[in-house]
Amino acid sequence: MGITVDFHEDGCAIITMRNGQNRWNPTSLKQFKEALDEVERKDSVKILVTTGVGKFYSNGIDLDYLKAHESEREQFSNDLVELFWRLMYFPLPTVAAINGHCFAGGAFFALCHDYRVMRSDRGWISLNEVLIHLRITGPFRDVLQHKMNAEALRESTIFAKRITGPEAVRLKMVDATAAESDLISKSKSVGFEALGSNVIQRVDLHNMKKDLFPRSDVHRKSNL
Protein backbone atom coordinates (compact mmCIF):
# COMPACT_ATOMS: atom_id res chain seq x y z
CA MET A 1 0.00 0.00 0.00
CA GLY A 2 1.03 3.62 -0.37
CA ILE A 3 2.98 5.27 -3.15
CA THR A 4 6.35 4.02 -4.40
CA VAL A 5 9.07 5.53 -6.58
CA ASP A 6 11.32 3.48 -8.86
CA PHE A 7 14.31 4.88 -10.71
CA HIS A 8 15.37 3.24 -13.97
CA GLU A 9 18.88 3.39 -15.37
CA ASP A 10 17.61 5.05 -18.56
CA GLY A 11 16.57 8.15 -16.59
CA CYS A 12 12.88 7.37 -16.10
CA ALA A 13 11.30 7.72 -12.66
CA ILE A 14 8.05 5.81 -12.12
CA ILE A 15 5.66 6.77 -9.32
CA THR A 16 3.17 3.97 -8.64
CA MET A 17 0.01 4.58 -6.62
CA ARG A 18 -0.90 1.46 -4.62
CA ASN A 19 -3.87 2.65 -2.55
CA GLY A 20 -6.67 0.62 -4.12
CA GLN A 21 -8.90 3.17 -5.84
CA ASN A 22 -6.18 5.80 -5.34
CA ARG A 23 -8.57 8.41 -4.02
CA TRP A 24 -7.26 11.79 -2.93
CA ASN A 25 -7.21 12.65 0.76
CA PRO A 26 -4.59 14.32 3.00
CA THR A 27 -2.61 11.08 3.35
CA SER A 28 -2.36 10.39 -0.39
CA LEU A 29 -1.56 14.05 -1.10
CA LYS A 30 1.32 13.89 1.40
CA GLN A 31 2.59 10.62 -0.06
CA PHE A 32 2.55 11.94 -3.60
CA LYS A 33 4.21 15.22 -2.62
CA GLU A 34 7.02 13.26 -0.98
CA ALA A 35 7.36 11.12 -4.12
CA LEU A 36 7.71 14.24 -6.28
CA ASP A 37 10.30 15.60 -3.84
CA GLU A 38 12.28 12.38 -4.23
CA VAL A 39 12.16 12.59 -8.03
CA GLU A 40 13.26 16.22 -8.09
CA ARG A 41 16.26 15.47 -5.89
CA LYS A 42 17.65 13.06 -8.52
CA ASP A 43 19.59 15.01 -11.14
CA SER A 44 19.80 11.88 -13.32
CA VAL A 45 16.02 11.70 -13.87
CA LYS A 46 14.93 12.80 -17.36
CA ILE A 47 11.22 11.90 -17.42
CA LEU A 48 8.45 11.03 -14.95
CA VAL A 49 5.76 8.38 -15.45
CA THR A 50 2.90 7.88 -12.98
CA THR A 51 0.64 4.85 -12.83
CA GLY A 52 -1.57 2.75 -10.58
CA VAL A 53 -2.09 -0.93 -9.87
CA GLY A 54 -5.09 -3.04 -10.78
CA LYS A 55 -8.52 -1.71 -11.70
CA PHE A 56 -7.99 2.01 -10.98
CA TYR A 57 -5.58 4.73 -11.98
CA SER A 58 -7.44 7.12 -9.66
CA ASN A 59 -11.09 7.26 -8.68
CA GLY A 60 -10.91 10.90 -7.64
CA ILE A 61 -11.44 12.64 -4.32
CA ASP A 62 -12.07 10.62 -1.17
CA LEU A 63 -15.67 11.72 -0.62
CA ASP A 64 -15.94 9.75 2.63
CA TYR A 65 -13.07 11.82 4.01
CA LEU A 66 -14.77 15.05 2.95
CA LYS A 67 -18.07 14.09 4.54
CA ALA A 68 -16.34 13.24 7.81
CA HIS A 69 -14.18 16.38 7.86
CA GLU A 70 -16.46 19.16 6.68
CA SER A 71 -14.38 21.88 8.35
CA GLU A 72 -11.30 20.82 6.38
CA ARG A 73 -12.85 21.11 2.91
CA GLU A 74 -11.34 24.45 1.97
CA GLN A 75 -7.85 23.57 3.15
CA PHE A 76 -8.03 20.20 1.40
CA SER A 77 -9.20 21.85 -1.82
CA ASN A 78 -6.27 24.27 -1.69
CA ASP A 79 -3.80 21.47 -0.97
CA LEU A 80 -5.20 19.43 -3.87
CA VAL A 81 -4.81 22.39 -6.22
CA GLU A 82 -1.23 22.95 -5.09
CA LEU A 83 -0.27 19.32 -5.77
CA PHE A 84 -2.02 19.13 -9.13
CA TRP A 85 -0.49 22.38 -10.31
CA ARG A 86 2.92 21.36 -9.08
CA LEU A 87 2.56 18.46 -11.50
CA MET A 88 1.24 20.80 -14.21
CA TYR A 89 4.45 22.85 -13.89
CA PHE A 90 6.77 19.92 -13.16
CA PRO A 91 10.30 20.53 -14.49
CA LEU A 92 10.43 17.22 -16.38
CA PRO A 93 8.30 15.65 -19.12
CA THR A 94 5.43 13.87 -17.37
CA VAL A 95 3.36 10.94 -18.65
CA ALA A 96 0.27 9.42 -17.02
CA ALA A 97 0.21 5.67 -17.69
CA ILE A 98 -3.51 5.19 -17.11
CA ASN A 99 -3.79 1.54 -16.10
CA GLY A 100 -7.51 1.56 -15.25
CA HIS A 101 -10.49 3.74 -14.45
CA CYS A 102 -9.77 7.44 -14.16
CA PHE A 103 -12.67 9.49 -12.79
CA ALA A 104 -13.29 13.05 -11.57
CA GLY A 105 -10.29 14.22 -9.53
CA GLY A 106 -8.33 11.31 -10.98
CA ALA A 107 -8.98 12.61 -14.48
CA PHE A 108 -7.91 16.12 -13.43
CA PHE A 109 -4.72 14.57 -12.09
CA ALA A 110 -4.06 12.78 -15.39
CA LEU A 111 -4.71 15.97 -17.36
CA CYS A 112 -2.04 17.78 -15.33
CA HIS A 113 0.57 15.59 -17.03
CA ASP A 114 2.16 16.58 -20.32
CA TYR A 115 1.08 13.32 -21.95
CA ARG A 116 -1.37 10.51 -21.25
CA VAL A 117 -1.28 6.87 -22.37
CA MET A 118 -4.38 4.79 -21.63
CA ARG A 119 -5.01 1.06 -21.75
CA SER A 120 -6.58 0.09 -25.04
CA ASP A 121 -8.67 -2.76 -23.64
CA ARG A 122 -9.92 -1.60 -20.25
CA GLY A 123 -10.79 1.50 -18.26
CA TRP A 124 -12.81 4.68 -18.63
CA ILE A 125 -11.90 8.32 -18.18
CA SER A 126 -14.62 10.75 -17.15
CA LEU A 127 -14.99 14.04 -15.32
CA ASN A 128 -18.31 13.19 -13.70
CA GLU A 129 -18.60 16.03 -11.17
CA VAL A 130 -22.03 16.90 -12.58
CA LEU A 131 -23.30 13.54 -11.30
CA ILE A 132 -22.06 14.13 -7.75
CA HIS A 133 -23.31 17.71 -7.43
CA LEU A 134 -19.90 19.41 -7.65
CA ARG A 135 -19.01 22.50 -9.64
CA ILE A 136 -15.78 23.10 -11.54
CA THR A 137 -14.33 26.55 -10.96
CA GLY A 138 -11.04 28.40 -10.55
CA PRO A 139 -7.84 26.38 -10.95
CA PHE A 140 -9.78 23.17 -11.66
CA ARG A 141 -11.57 24.83 -14.57
CA ASP A 142 -8.23 26.18 -15.78
CA VAL A 143 -6.90 22.63 -16.13
CA LEU A 144 -9.77 21.68 -18.44
CA GLN A 145 -9.49 24.84 -20.51
CA HIS A 146 -5.76 24.33 -20.96
CA LYS A 147 -5.87 20.62 -21.71
CA MET A 148 -9.16 19.75 -23.46
CA ASN A 149 -10.97 20.82 -26.61
CA ALA A 150 -14.67 21.70 -26.79
CA GLU A 151 -15.83 18.25 -27.91
CA ALA A 152 -13.90 16.50 -25.17
CA LEU A 153 -15.31 18.91 -22.57
CA ARG A 154 -18.85 18.35 -23.78
CA GLU A 155 -18.66 14.57 -23.83
CA SER A 156 -16.52 13.83 -20.77
CA THR A 157 -17.52 16.68 -18.46
CA ILE A 158 -20.81 18.37 -19.34
CA PHE A 159 -22.51 15.02 -20.00
CA ALA A 160 -20.13 12.91 -17.88
CA LYS A 161 -19.78 10.15 -20.46
CA ARG A 162 -17.40 7.30 -19.74
CA ILE A 163 -14.72 7.50 -22.40
CA THR A 164 -12.73 4.43 -23.48
CA GLY A 165 -9.08 4.57 -24.46
CA PRO A 166 -9.62 4.58 -28.25
CA GLU A 167 -12.36 7.23 -27.93
CA ALA A 168 -10.12 9.31 -25.64
CA VAL A 169 -7.46 9.30 -28.35
CA ARG A 170 -10.01 10.52 -30.89
CA LEU A 171 -11.08 13.30 -28.51
CA LYS A 172 -7.41 14.14 -27.86
CA MET A 173 -7.86 13.57 -24.13
CA VAL A 174 -5.01 11.05 -24.28
CA ASP A 175 -2.12 10.76 -26.68
CA ALA A 176 -1.94 7.00 -27.20
CA THR A 177 -3.25 3.63 -26.06
CA ALA A 178 -1.41 0.42 -25.29
CA ALA A 179 -2.09 -3.08 -24.08
CA GLU A 180 -1.63 -3.58 -20.35
CA SER A 181 1.68 -5.37 -20.88
CA ASP A 182 3.03 -2.49 -22.97
CA LEU A 183 1.60 0.44 -20.99
CA ILE A 184 4.77 1.42 -19.13
CA SER A 185 7.12 0.90 -22.07
CA LYS A 186 4.83 2.95 -24.33
CA SER A 187 4.58 5.70 -21.72
CA LYS A 188 8.36 5.81 -21.37
CA SER A 189 8.73 6.04 -25.15
CA VAL A 190 6.30 8.96 -25.26
CA GLY A 191 8.24 10.76 -22.55
CA PHE A 192 11.64 10.27 -24.14
CA GLU A 193 10.30 11.19 -27.59
CA ALA A 194 9.06 14.47 -26.10
CA LEU A 195 12.63 15.39 -25.23
CA GLY A 196 14.10 14.19 -28.50
CA SER A 197 17.65 15.46 -28.91
CA ASN A 198 16.90 18.71 -27.08
CA VAL A 199 18.69 19.58 -23.88
CA ILE A 200 16.13 21.52 -21.86
CA GLN A 201 17.07 22.74 -18.41
CA ARG A 202 14.57 21.91 -15.68
CA VAL A 203 14.07 25.54 -14.72
CA ASP A 204 13.33 26.50 -18.32
CA LEU A 205 10.78 23.70 -18.76
CA HIS A 206 9.08 24.70 -15.51
CA ASN A 207 8.96 28.36 -16.55
CA MET A 208 7.63 27.59 -20.03
CA LYS A 209 4.77 25.52 -18.61
CA LYS A 210 4.02 28.23 -16.05
CA ASP A 211 3.94 30.94 -18.74
CA LEU A 212 1.64 28.97 -21.05
CA PHE A 213 -0.75 27.56 -18.43
CA PRO A 214 -1.81 30.45 -16.15
CA ARG A 215 -3.69 29.54 -12.99
CA SER A 216 -6.58 31.32 -11.27
CA ASP A 217 -6.30 32.41 -7.66
CA VAL A 218 -6.75 29.45 -5.33
CA HIS A 219 -7.69 31.51 -2.28
CA ARG A 220 -11.45 31.25 -2.48
CA LYS A 221 -14.30 29.33 -0.90
CA SER A 222 -14.06 25.70 -1.93
CA ASN A 223 -16.65 24.18 -4.27
CA LEU A 224 -15.78 20.62 -3.34
Q: How much is the average pLDDT of 193-210?
A: 95
- Euclidean distance between CA atoms 114 and 49, whole angstroms: 10
Please indicate, yes or no, if residue 220 is contained in any of the structural domains. no
* pLDDT band, residue 51 (cuts 50/70/90): very high
CATH of the domain at 40: 3.90.226.10
pLDDT in tens, 1-43: 799 999 999 999 999 999 999 999 999 999 999 999 999 999 9
pLDDT of residue 44: 97
pLDDT of residue 223: 55
Average pLDDT, the chain: 95
pLDDT of residue 217: 76
SS3 of residue 79 by DSSP: helix
Residues spanned by the domain of 208: 3-212
Please indicate, yes or no, if residue 70 is contained in any of the structural domains. yes
Please indicate, yes or no, if residue 221 is contained in any of the structural domains. no
Q: How much is the average pLDDT of 47-51?
A: 99
Contact present, 178 and 57 (Cβ < 8 Å)? no
pLDDT of residue 224: 57
pLDDT of residue 1: 72
Say how many domains are in the chain. Answer: 1
Question: Please, is 66 exposed, middle or buried when counting C-beta atoms within 10 Å of its C-beta (0-12, 13-18, 19+)?
Answer: middle
Q: How much is the average pLDDT of 75-89?
A: 96
- Euclidean distance between CA atoms 60 and 108, whole angstroms: 8
Q: What is the dihedral sign for C-alpha 210, 105, 95, 163?
A: negative
Count other C-beta atoms under 10 Å from residue 200's C-beta: 16
163: β partners: 125
Please indicate, yes or no, if residue 206 is contained in any of the structural domains. yes
Please indicate, yes or no, if residue 96 is contained in any of the structural domains. yes
Please indicate, yes or no, if residue 116 is contained in any of the structural domains. yes
- Euclidean distance between CA atoms 222 and 73, whole angstroms: 7
Q: How much is the average pLDDT of 121-125?
A: 96
Nearest to 218 by CA among 82, 87, 71, 124: 82
Tell me the whole-structure pTM to 2 decimals: 0.94
- Tell me whether strands 3-7 and 176-178 are parallel, antiparallel or unpaired: unpaired
Please indicate, yes or no, if residue 99 is contained in any of the structural domains. yes
- Euclidean distance between CA atoms 125 and 118, whole angstroms: 9
pLDDT in tens, 131-180: 989 899 999 999 999 999 999 999 999 999 999 999 999 999 999 999 99
